[in-house]
């Protein structure tokens, strides 16, 4: 068998330790598939004393992973530090510049600096593997970059954040309010102490930026994305969605049309019989639509030591075999510059929930605002009476423009009969 592939791991948290354990536990099958053994020979982490369930005595320990990036005894570096700046970015840049391949699960780094890192990898003729950066153990990167390489991809979308999917699932199944489920998710380790990146849609947007770049052979550009989270989703919205035949999911959606490319992350109502509506809990799903293959959907665990390590090791096996593709699926010179479409150009159907005074004439005022904005109603739902207080009124629309809808929302919020900020959720038919 050929010379072993020597791996250095920077960061021994959940991802880094998971990779080391998987390489140890499945060494035989990994060596057979890689054509040679893949062995960890060097590590770097802030805490040497922590018990990670791994034998570390025979490994070289690098106090400064960035300074040791050119280490000739290491063939490939796994960056498991995390973060879009600081040591993680410096390590990846230094390793690529030294002509050495890198494997990372760092979606923020790729989403924000992927253009420059891809150019650096191309300049030095080395691989930059990031299968683990999107959807954990789901092989979404390979599917887009390799399996669907012959297709013009029209749309790529999915449930890209397990924390949000868990929260929305528990709100629906158990009838609990957002704040209570979030606290539960934190107690279970599904959400961080500061959950902002998850619940505000940023984590999903990082992943969508990567998927969109691959799907449409464009340089990654995080600034093009429209991003909304799930903080404002209420138990009322969950219940009303069920009554209307929908479920609420936080989706990332990137589409290409003749006019250009759009990319957006926000809560969506999807029909209950859509396959993606049935993806619950901490699971992720990625849907791609190609001109030749049609629609393909992949589902699985999007985080955790095992799924993420599985994806990292898949990249290591490719490197051991000498297989690697351009970072964004094509050489830099072959990437296209399709126009990025702003959110106000979006067209679609909408769900609106208004908390209004229960008095005559309110519905007429609401429908007059929508009429003036040329927004056509599909349905209206009002349940219960509250003569001395507020009642929810839910409306769904036919397809209309985002700009018209936002203008109508501002007018609706200004009505004295509307007591709260109107809730808006876009309707999607994935």
Domain residue spans of the chain: 5-133, 140-301, 344-427
- Taking a C-beta distance cutoff of 8 angstroms, is the pair 358, 385 a contact? yes
pLDDT tier at 173, thresholds 50, 70, 90: very high
| pTM (2 d.p.) | 0.93
Mean pLDDT of 74-94: 93
Q: What backbone torsions phi and psi does residue 145 show, to the nearest 5 degrees? A: -80, -30
What does the pLDDT look like over 371-406, one tens digit per residue? 999 999 999 888 766 666 788 899 999 999 999 999
At 82, is the secondary structure helix, strand, or coil? coil
Q: Would you say residue 203 has pLDDT above 60? A: yes
Residue 48's pLDDT is: 63
What are the tokens at 308? 């993420």
Which fold is adopted by the domain 5-133?
A: Rossmann fold (3.40.50)
pLDDT of residue 391: 85
| The token pair that represents 9 in the structure block | 């791991």
Q: What's the CATH number for 140-301?
A: 3.30.360.10
- Residue whose entry in the numeric block shows the structure tokens 């880094």: 16
Tell me which of 91-95, 303-307, 420-424 is least confident: 303-307
Q: How many CB atoms lie within 10 A of CB 215?
A: 29
pLDDT at position 69 over 90? no
**Mean pLDDT in residue range 295-299:** 95
Looking at domain 344-427, which of 3.40.720.10, 3.40.50.150, 1.10.760.10, 3.30.70.260 is its CATH number? 3.30.70.260
**How far apart are the C-alpha atoms of 361 and 211, rounded to whole Å?**
48
pLDDT value of position 388: 61
Short-list 403, 390, 408, 401, CA closest to 352: 408
Calculate what percentage of the chain has a pLDDT beyond 90. 74
Do 5-133 and 344-427 show the same overall fold? no
Which H helix or E strand runs over 249?
strand 246-257
Show which residues are catalytic: 207
Q: To the nearest whole number, what is the mean pLDDT of the chain? A: 91
Interval 229-238 mean pLDDT:
94
- The C-alpha atoms of residue 370 and residue 11 are separated, in whole angstroms, by 54
Name the CA dihedral angle for 390, 396, 401, 402, rounded to a multiple of 10 degrees.
Answer: 50
Rg (CA), the chain: 24
């Amino acid at each position: 068998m050929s010379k072993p592939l020597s791996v250095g791991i920077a960061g021994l948290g959940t991802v880094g330790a998971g990779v080391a354990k998987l390489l140890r536990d499945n060494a035989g099958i990994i060596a057979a598939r890689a054509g040679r053994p893949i062995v960890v020979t060097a590590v770097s982490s802030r805490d040497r004393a922590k018990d990670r369930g791994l034998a570390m005595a025979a490994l070289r320990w690098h106090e400064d992973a960035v300074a040791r990036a050119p280490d000739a005894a290491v063939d490939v570096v796994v960056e498991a530090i995390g973060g879009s700046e600081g040591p993680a970015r410096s390590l990846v840049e230094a390793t690529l510049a030294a002509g050495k391949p890198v494997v990372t699960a760092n979606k923020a780094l790729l989403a924000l600096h992927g253009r420059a890192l891809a150019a650096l990898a191309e300049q030095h003729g080395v691989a930059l593997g990031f299968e683990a950066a999107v959807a954990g153990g789901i092989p979404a990167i390979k599917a887009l970059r390799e399996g669907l390489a012959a297709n013009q991809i029209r749309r790529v979308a999915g449930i890209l954040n397990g924390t949000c999917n868990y929260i929305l699932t528990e709100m629906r199944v158990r009838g609990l309010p957002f704040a209570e489920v979030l606290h539960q998710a934190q107690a279970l380790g599904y959400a961080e102490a500061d959950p902002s990146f998850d619940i505000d849609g940023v984590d999903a947007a990082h992943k969508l930026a990567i998927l969109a770049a691959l799907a449409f052979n464009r340089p990654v550009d995080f600034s093009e994305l429209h991003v909304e989270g799930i903080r404002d989703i209420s138990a009322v919205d969950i219940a009303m969605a069920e009554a209307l035949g929908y479920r609420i999911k936080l989706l990332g959606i990137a589409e290409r049309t003749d006019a250009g490319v759009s990319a957006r992350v926000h809560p969506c109502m999807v029909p209950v019989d859509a396959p993606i509506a049935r993806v619950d809990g901490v699971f992720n799903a990625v849907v791609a639509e190609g001109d030749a293959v049609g629609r393909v959907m992949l589902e699985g665990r999007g985080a955790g030591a095992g799924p993420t390590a599985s994806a990292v090791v898949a990249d290591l096996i490719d490197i051991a075999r000498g297989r690697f593709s351009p970072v964004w699926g094509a050489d830099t010179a072959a990437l296209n510059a399709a126009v990025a479409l702003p959110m106000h150009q979006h067209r679609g159907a909408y769900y609106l929930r208004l908390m209004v005074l229960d008095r005559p004439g309110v519905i007429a005022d609401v429908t007059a605002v929508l009429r003036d904005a040329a927004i056509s109603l599909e349905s209206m739902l009002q349940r219960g009476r509250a003569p001395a207080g507020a009642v929810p009124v839910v409306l769904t629309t036919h397809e209309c423009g985002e700009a018209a809808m936002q203008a109508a929302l501002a007018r609706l919020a200004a009505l004295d009969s509307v007591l709260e900020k109107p809730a808006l959720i876009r309707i999607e038919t994935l």
